[in-house]
Amino acid sequence: MTQSDFDNFRALMQGVHDFYTKDLSAFALDVWWNALRSYDLAVISQALSLHCQNPDTGQFCPKPADVVRMVGGTTKDAALMAWNKVMEGVSKAGSYSSVCFDDPIINRCLLDMGGWPDLCAKQMDELPFVERNFCDRYRAYRIRGTAPGHPAYLVGLNEAMNAQGGFRSAPPMLIGNPDAARRVLTCGSDIPLIPVTVGEHVEGVTLRLVNRSSNAA
């Protein structure tokens, strides 16, 4: 929502509280607004309607957390979905391609954990621990309620090596919703990424410089 939606949001919340014969103070309205302003008004209205119809919880006046749970699921659900998207990226792109996910929190978590090539180099028996580490970090960022500062994208091995030799690289592969990933790419910051040493071996493969400058028009 934007500030222009506030009057309609206030009317919606007042109607819900009237329905449950509850008062809506200015303080409570401010709490509701700050908790839900990242969602569309239509989505919030639908979630509130579903809450009222729920035979288990509908007899109680909703709280902001109830709406957030209905709109976006629990943070545990969101973290597992994000991890599945990471595994999709590993399968599609591999460690050599730079990647940008459609969720800025994914970019930030993977940066915190050592970067994209480091994740792709993990062995199968390491993945359960890596998954728990990722999900814990993701949930912590989600609970904050705001997207953290995040890198525009995650540098793959080819780009890291090419940068050291002054060569150009292909743009990052977009993982997930392309439009959302482009927004993440545009809004990301230039946080320094983990450097890769020339000649480093990853899964038994020696890295080589790739000159893409001749392909760039």
What confidence tier does 205 reach under pLDDT thresholds 50, 70, 90?
A: very low
Q: What is the pLDDT of residues 21-31, one digit of tens each?
A: 999 999 999 99
- Segment 161-174, tens digit of pLDDT: 998 888 988 999 99
pLDDT category of residue 198 using cuts at 50, 70 and 90: very low
- pLDDT at res. 8: 95
**pTM of the predicted model, to two decimals?**
0.61
- When pLDDT is averaged across residues 69-93 and rounded to a whole number, the result is 88
Domain boundaries in the chain?
A: 3-72, 75-215
The yes-or-no verdict on residue 7 having pLDDT over 70 is yes
**Of 90-94, 121-125, 148-152, 170-174, which gets the smallest average pLDDT?**
148-152
The predicted-structure confidence for 29-42, as pLDDT tens digits, reads as follows 999 999 888 788 88
- The per-type count for the chain, helices as H runs and strands as E runs, is 10, 4
Helices 127-144 + 75-93 axis angle, to 10: 130
Q: Tell me if 72 sits within 8 A of 46, measured CB to CB.
A: no
Angle at which helices 41-53 and 6-19 cross, to 10°: 10
Which burial class, exposed, middle or buried, applies to 142 when counting CB atoms under 10 A from its CB (0-12, 13-18, 19+)?
buried
Give the containing element (helix H, strand E) for 140.
Answer: helix 127-144
